[in-house]
């Protein structure tokens, strides 16, 4: 349930409502928007039986939320949430542009990647130090040494760092090196990991599982938010279907569905959906046109030499050309880069 406060309500009015909720063993999440202040009731609302909150000073109405994902729902923040990552805002007018190689390999590779994505206009550098691979014999990443290389390259060019963590034990190791944790598709329902990153309050990029529904995805976000971390950005990266022409099938329809049902920003990863570099640009442009809040794209100084996912990574020149096309279409959609 959410409690919508009147536009002229006072802080004292809000405080009294929260006090009543706490007296019944319930939590409260307050969202103050330009249109209204909304209090999300966390817990079993049946505990409020006998309480008529709508007669309290400053309360406009009480609205039940039928979704199992309460805090991630659009009703919680009708105008949508934004996520601030070290001064870079995701979910606002400006498109979030994240780029970098699939895996951190060498310092030279990361410095060249950082220079290229920065020159194109990106604000975030991505790179995997821990690589969950289908085969146990495939390259597994450079681990903490890779995190150090990633951070050094990002700092040299004024970029924010996004990197994947694959286990809750890695949180204290990775936290000093990154500005945003990434939860990969394989870990979307690793509920302990979700809870643990929720307790850190550090921004989280949550990728959709390759065989998960939108509702399951939003419930995964709820695990993070239920621990007090509302700094969650969703990432559509393609789902598994019967089609074999691409690595995955990019679910463009998930963008408007998420924007209707959830208050969270959503970005798109066309690289993992495509599996082939030549398909990345058209999928990226389609995602922006559909209303995505940004793009995360794999780009490498020399894709042919990449230790993982070589076929889907763009060259730095190709990324710059894609970025320029995004720059041109963004104003048509009321966005900017």
One pLDDT digit (tens) per residue for the chain, 337 residues: 889 999 889 999 999 999 999 999 998 888 887 777 889 888 778 888 888 999 999 999 998 888 889 899 998 888 899 999 999 999 999 999 999 999 999 999 999 999 999 999 999 999 999 988 788 888 888 999 999 999 999 999 999 999 999 999 999 999 999 999 999 999 999 999 999 999 999 999 999 999 999 999 999 999 999 998 999 999 999 999 999 999 999 999 999 999 999 999 999 999 999 999 999 999 999 999 999 999 999 999 999 999 999 999 999 999 999 999 999 999 999 999 9
The CA distances from residue 148 to 165, 175, 265, in Å, are 14, 11, 28
The pLDDT, as a whole number, for residue 45 is 80
3-state SS, residue 156: helix
Q: How far is CA 8 from the centre of its chain?
A: 33
The encoded tokens of residue 152 equal 């050094």
3-state SS, residue 311: helix
CATH 3.30.70.1140 maps onto the chain at 2-63
Is the Cβ–Cβ distance between 316 and 301 less than 8 Å? yes
Q: Which of 74, 117, 141, 77 is nearest to 298 (CA)?
A: 117
φ, ψ for residue 92, nearest 5 deg: -90, -155
CATH 3.20.20.70 maps onto the chain at 83-333
Kindly report the CATH number that applies to the domain delimited by 2-63: 3.30.70.1140
The pLDDT, as a whole number, for residue 76 is 86
Strand partners, 232: 204
The pLDDT, as a whole number, for residue 120 is 98
Q: Which of 116, 204, 97 is nearest to 156 (CA)?
A: 116
Strand partners, 299: 314
Look at the alpha carbons of 6, 81, 228, 194 in this order and tell me if their dihedral is positive or negative: positive
Which H helix or E strand runs over 181?
strand 180-183
The encoded tokens of residue 328 equal 């041109």
Q: Which of 268, 213, 234, 248 is nearest to 83 (CA)?
A: 234
The pLDDT, as a whole number, for residue 129 is 96
d(CA 178, CA 205): 12
CATH H-level superfamily of 83-333: Aldolase class I (3.20.20.70)
d(CA 82, CA 271): 24
Residues in the chain, how many? 337
59-63 β-sheet, strand order: 27-32, 37-42, 2-5, 59-63
Q: How big is the CA angle at 42 (ends 196 and 51), to the nearest 5 degrees?
A: 160
Q: How big is the CA angle at 276 (ends 100 and 99), to the nearest 5 degrees?
A: 15
The CA distances from residue 13 to 8, 9, 25, 271, in Å, are 10, 6, 19, 49
Give the single-character DSSP code of 313: P
Kindly compute the dihedral angle of the four CA atoms of residues 206, 208, 214, 219, in this order, to the nearest 10 degrees. -40
pTM to 2 decimal places:
0.91
The pLDDT, as a whole number, for residue 65 is 82
Extract the runs of DSSP E, i.e. beta strands, from 23-87.
27-32, 37-42, 59-63, 83-85
């Amino acid at each position: 349930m959410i409690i919508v406060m009147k536009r002229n309500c006072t802080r004292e009015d809000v405080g009294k409502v929260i006090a009543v909720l706490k007296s019944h063993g319930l939590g409260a999440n307050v969202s103050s928007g330009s249109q209204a202040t909304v209090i999300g009731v966390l817990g079993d609302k049946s505990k409020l039986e006998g309480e008529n909150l709508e007669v309290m000073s400053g309360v406009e109405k009480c609205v039940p939320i039928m979704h199992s994902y309460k805090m991630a729902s659009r009703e919680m923040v009708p105008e949508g949430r934004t996520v601030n990552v070290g001064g870079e805002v995701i979910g606002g007018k400006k498109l979030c542009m994240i780029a970098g190689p699939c895996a951190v390999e060498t310092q030279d590779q990361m410095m060249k990647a950082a220079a290229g994505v920065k020159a194109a206009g990106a604000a975030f550098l991505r790179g995997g130090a821990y690589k969950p691979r289908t085969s146990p014999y495939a390259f597994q990443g450079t681990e903490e040494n890779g995190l150090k290389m990633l951070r050094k390259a990002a700092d040299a060019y004024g970029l924010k760092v996004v990197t994947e963590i694959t286990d809750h034990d890695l949180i204290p190791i990775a936290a000093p090196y990154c500005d945003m944790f990434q939860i990969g598709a394989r870990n979307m329902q690793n509920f302990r990991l979700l809870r643990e990153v929720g307790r850190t309050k550090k921004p989280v990029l949550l990728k959709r599982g390759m065989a998960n529904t939108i509702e399951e995805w939003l419930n995964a976000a709820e695990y993070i938010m239920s621990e007090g971390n509302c700094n969650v950005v969703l990432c559509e990266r393609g789902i598994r279907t019967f089609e074999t022409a691409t690595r995955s099938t990019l679910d463009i329809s998930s963008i408007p569905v998420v924007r209707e049902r959830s208050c969270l920003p959503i970005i798109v990863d066309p690289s993992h959906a495509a599996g082939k570099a030549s398909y990345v640009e058209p999928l990226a442009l389609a995602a922006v046109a559909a209303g995505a809040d940004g793009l995360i794209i794999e780009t490498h100084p020399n894709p042919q030499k990449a230790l993982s996912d070589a076929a889907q990574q763009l060259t730095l020149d190709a990324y710059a050309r894609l970025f320029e096309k995004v720059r041109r279409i963004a104003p048509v959609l009321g966005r900017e880069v």
